């Protein structure tokens, strides 16, 4: 029963993975965003709106999280080198939309059932995450690199954790209804461990076909009676123009003194990348009889700091009312000028390293800041930056030139001009594929288009089609199409003769079917020609590799002693009869039951997940907008 209980846990984990996309893992491993509780003041970052799902708003953070989830899921299947960029944009967006819809649907269900956890519970979850424990408990510095990279606010991250825990609670509750039933697992194991003896006849079709004689005359007769088997493939000829970013790079002209001017801009940008770390001491106004009393309290602290009666860190430890930062010296992390409230950022501009600010008043709290660290980026020399600056210019200019030409050609296509006129408009060559079939067609310099797209029925003669690649465009026109036609006999004589041999072999196998059961029963002898064999296998199970799966399946699905006939995937024919079925008891199965628990759980998980998917999405209200990969 211990193993069975462990399997229940694996079952629940499988459900969590399907329904919630491992959001808890995402939070602890990828989205460990720092948080600081600064009274009621919000450090606002406004994200774009992407609509709603069941009334739940979809934010930029939801979109980013869904994108990350989809990407990780695909990488787990196709390898770490896989990227969403490898998929068509429509496919990527559809996967991301589905992920958003799934998560928001679960969240709305959790909210409807009253399973949304409190903000306090979310904060406690964050503080207790093992990955972010330092020597003295929760370590604020472990969060800072992530918050700089993502630019998210503490409030947003706390809300994300609330949603995650709530969804996990919902999934756990649902998982109770999806636990495997031990008797069902035992029944499955018994069925799969059941064995039968199988007597069978096999005709190896390749050997039988090779023995058949066929004349040229027979081949021609078959050809004339079955012309549809000898049709040629459709061939198409395309003329096309390709625009590639690499080609336009050759046209870029670098302005005189560009490197000097670009380096000056680089220096100006670097100056704006200075990061300042601050700590703060906070007094919450609501904790006092009046705002004046709160101000009096912090003013006394400020005077003590000015007179050097107490160190800032000691004052924070003794008096700060921000519980999240109090034990770490009031540290708020780093800012490049926009992470903190405007009042903080303005004060930082006039502060020196290790100095303190005057008292800063926010709507609900009072603060004293200390500038504890200034991080300035390393400035590279002009020589070190020259290659990068030049490359950036060429890339940007080449893309702009290509886009200009593309827009020009696109407008001309709408005006109905010819492909030659398009080529003349930008002084580009017209390339030609020549007549090719679907297996050999390709556009030189434009690998993004598939042969199936070029042979799509919607492609019309003399109509210019526009295709877009990652860094290229193609303007393509079908100039000629040859429909399939019956190939001359001289070209397909060998194929026709082979078809005659196949036909003769099929007739022999069909005639043999009448005697198959008598031969298996020993009443008649097996034909002596090559390719015919008769054998007996003892104790064959359903997953045995002794026979093709289609043969074993049809045998076990039939009653004992019944003759079954089946054709394998390679054309070989089988006639089989089973006997001596052995069904193991539970005691005989023993530990082998454990082998089938995972198989059973996977099947049950798929069934339950389908039920949840249908139940939750009934009456679903999806109003998504503004979702693009740009």
Hey, is 464 helix, strand or coil?
strand
CA 480 distance to own-chain centroid = 40
Encoded tokens for 487: 């190939």
Q: Answer with the one of 320, 351, 375 that is the final residue of a domain.
A: 375
Domain identity same for 81 and 164: yes
Whether 391 and 475 share a structural domain: yes
Please classify residue 324 by burial: count the beta carbons closer than 10 Å to its beta carbon, then call 0-12 exposed, 13-18 middle and 19+ buried: buried
Backbone torsions φ then ψ of 56, nearest 5 degrees? -85, 125
In terms of average pLDDT, the best of 71-80, 166-175, 521-530 is 521-530
25/95 same-domain check:
yes
Q: Are 34 and 127 in contact (CB under 8 A)?
A: no
93 vs 210: CA distance, rounded Å: 53
Largest distance between two CA atoms of the chain? 116
The residue whose two tokens read 């001359």 is 488
Are residues 407 and 468 both part of a single domain?
yes
Report if residue 108 sits inside a domain: yes
Record the pTM. 0.46
Question: Which range in 8-17, 382-391, 528-537 is most confidently predicted, on average pLDDT?
Answer: 528-537
Supply 450's token pair: 């598939």
Boundaries of domain holding 278: 274-375
pLDDT confidence band for 16 (50 / 70 / 90)? very low
One domain, residues 105 and 10? yes
* Cβ-contact 164, 501 below 8 angstroms: no
- Asked if the structure places residue 602 within a domain, the reply is no
Same-domain pairing of 242 and 322: no
Residue 254 lies in a domain: no
Convert the pLDDT of each residue in 414-440 to its tens digit.
999 999 999 999 999 999 999 999 999
Cβ pair 277, 369 in contact under 8 A = no
Instruction: Give domain status of residue 340, yes or no.
Output: yes
Same domain as 355, residue 214? no
- Is residue 592, in this structure, part of any structural domain at all? no
Same domain, 34 and 163: yes
Query: Is beta strand 331-335 parallel, antiparallel or unpaired with respect to 431-432?
Result: unpaired
CATH, residue 305: 3.10.50.40
Please check whether residue 256 lies inside any domain of the structure: no
Any idea how long the chain is?
A: 630
Pick from 465, 482, 499: which residue ends a domain?
A: 482
Helix and strand numbers, DSSP H then E, in the chain: 24, 17
Residue 262 has pLDDT above 50, yes or no: yes
Whether 76 and 176 map to the same domain: the answer is yes
DSSP 139: -
Phi and psi dihedrals of 220, rounded to 5? -70, -35
Residue 187 lies in a domain: no
* Dihedral sign, Cα of residue 531, residue 534, residue 537, residue 543: positive
Q: Strand, coil or helix: what is 331?
A: strand
Find the angle CA(430)-CA(431)-CA(434) to the nearest 5 degrees.
135
CB 122 within 8 A of CB 158: yes
Q: How confident is the model at residue 533 (pLDDT cuts 50, 70, 90)?
A: very high
Q: Are residues 107 and 167 in the same domain?
A: yes
The mean predicted confidence, pLDDT, of the chain is 81
Give mean pLDDT, residues 108-133.
74
How high is the pLDDT of residue 254?
86
Does the pLDDT at position 140 exceed 70?
Answer: no
Q: What is the pLDDT of residue 35?
A: 35
Into how many domains does the chain fold? 4
Instruction: Specify whether 204 is located in the same domain as 240.
Output: no
The pLDDT > 70 percentage for the chain reads 78
Taking the C-alpha atoms of residue 352 and residue 338, their distance in angstroms, rounded to an integer, is 19
Nearest to 30 by CA among 41, 39, 21, 40: 21
Q: What is the pLDDT of residues 194-250, one digit of tens each?
A: 889 999 999 999 999 999 999 999 999 999 999 989 999 999 999 999 999 989 998
Residue found under tokens 């969240």: 107
Q: Which residues, listed in sequence order, are joined to residue 240 by a DSSP beta bridge?
A: 431, 476
CATH of the domain at 149: 1.10.4030
Same domain, 431 and 511: no
pLDDT at 339: 81
What's the pLDDT tens digit per position in 55-109? 788 877 788 888 888 888 888 777 777 777 777 778 888 888 888 888 888 888 7
**What single DSSP character describes residue 137?**
E
Last residue in a domain, options 433, 449, 482: 482
Q: Which two tokens stand for residue 410?
A: 């696109």
Q: Are 36 and 324 in contact (CB under 8 A)?
A: yes
Q: In this structure, is residue 24 part of a structural domain? A: yes
Give residue 19's pLDDT.
40
């Amino acid at each position: 029963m211990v193993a069975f209980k462990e399997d229940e846990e694996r079952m629940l984990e499988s459900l969590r993975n399907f329904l919630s996309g491992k959001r808890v893992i995402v939070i602890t491993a990828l989205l460990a965003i720092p948080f600081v509780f600064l009274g009621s003041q919000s450090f606002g970052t406004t994200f774009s709106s992407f609509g709603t799902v069941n009334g739940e708003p979809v934010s930029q953070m939801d979109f980013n999280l869904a994108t990350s989830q989809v990407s990780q899921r695909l990488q787990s299947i196709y390898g770490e080198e896989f990227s969403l960029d490898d998929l068509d944009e429509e496919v990527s967006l559809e996967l991301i939309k589905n992920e958003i819809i799934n998560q928001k649907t679960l969240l709305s269900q959790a909210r409807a059932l009253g399973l949304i956890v409190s903000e306090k519970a979310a904060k406690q979850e964050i503080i207790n995450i093992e990955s972010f424990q330092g020597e003295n408990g929760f370590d604020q510095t472990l969060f800072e690199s992530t918050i700089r990279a993502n630019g998210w606010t503490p409030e947003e991250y706390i809300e994300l954790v609330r949603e995650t825990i709530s969804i996990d609670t919902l999934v756990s509750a649902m998982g109770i209804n999806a636990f495997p039933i031990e008797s069902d697992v035992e029944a499955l194991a018994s069925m799969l461990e059941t064995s039968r003896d199988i007597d069978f006849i096999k005709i190896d079709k390749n050997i039988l076909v090779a023995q058949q004689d066929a004349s040229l005359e027979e081949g021609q007769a078959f050809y004339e009676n079955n012309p549809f088997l000898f049709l040629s493939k459709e061939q198409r000829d395309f003329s096309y123009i390709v625009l590639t970013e690499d080609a336009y790079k050759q046209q870029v002209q670098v302005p005189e003194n560009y490197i000097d001017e670009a380096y000056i801009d680089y220096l100006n940008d670097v100056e704006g990348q200075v990061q300042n770390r601050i700590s703060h001491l906070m007094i919450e106004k609501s904790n006092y009889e009046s705002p004046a009393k709160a101000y009096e309290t912090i003013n006394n602290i400020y005077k003590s700091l000015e007179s050097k009666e107490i160190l800032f860190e000691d004052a924070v430890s003794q008096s700060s009312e921000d519980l999240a930062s109090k034990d770490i010296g009031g540290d708020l992390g780093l800012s490049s000028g926009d992470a903190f409230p405007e009042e903080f950022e303005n004060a930082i501009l006039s502060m020196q390293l290790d100095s303190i600010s005057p008292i800063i008043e926010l709507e609900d709290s009072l603060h004293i800041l200390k500038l504890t660290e200034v991080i300035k980026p390393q400035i590279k020399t002009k020589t070190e930056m020259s290659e990068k600056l030049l490359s950036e210019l060429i890339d940007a200019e080449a893309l702009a030139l290509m886009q200009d030409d593309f827009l020009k050609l696109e407008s001309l296509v709408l005006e109905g001009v010819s492909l030659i006129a398009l080529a003349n408009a930008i002084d580009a060559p017209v390339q030609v594929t020549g007549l090719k079939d679907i297996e050999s067609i390709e556009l030189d310099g434009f690998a993004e288009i598939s042969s199936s797209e070029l042979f799509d029925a919607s492609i019309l003669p003399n109509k210019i089609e526009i295709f877009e690649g990652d860094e290229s465009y193609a303007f393509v026109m079908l100039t000629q199409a040859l429909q399939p036609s019956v190939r001359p006999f001289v070209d397909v004589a060998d194929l026709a003769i082979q078809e005659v041999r196949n036909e003769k072999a099929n007739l022999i196998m069909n005639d043999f079917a009448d005697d198959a059961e008598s031969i298996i029963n020993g009443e008649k002898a097996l034909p002596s020609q090559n390719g015919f064999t008769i054998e007996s296998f003892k104790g064959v199970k359903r997953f045995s590799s002794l026979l093709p799966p289609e043969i074993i399946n049809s045998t076990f699905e039939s009653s004992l002693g019944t003759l079954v006939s089946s054709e394998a995937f390679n054309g070989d024919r089988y006639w089989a009869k089973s006997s001596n079925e052995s069904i193991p008891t539970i005691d005989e199965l023993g530990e082998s039951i454990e082998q089938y628990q995972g198989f059973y759980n996977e099947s049950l998980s798929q069934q339950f997940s389908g039920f949840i998917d249908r139940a939750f999405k009934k009456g679903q209200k999806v109003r998504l907008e503004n979702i693009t990969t740009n």
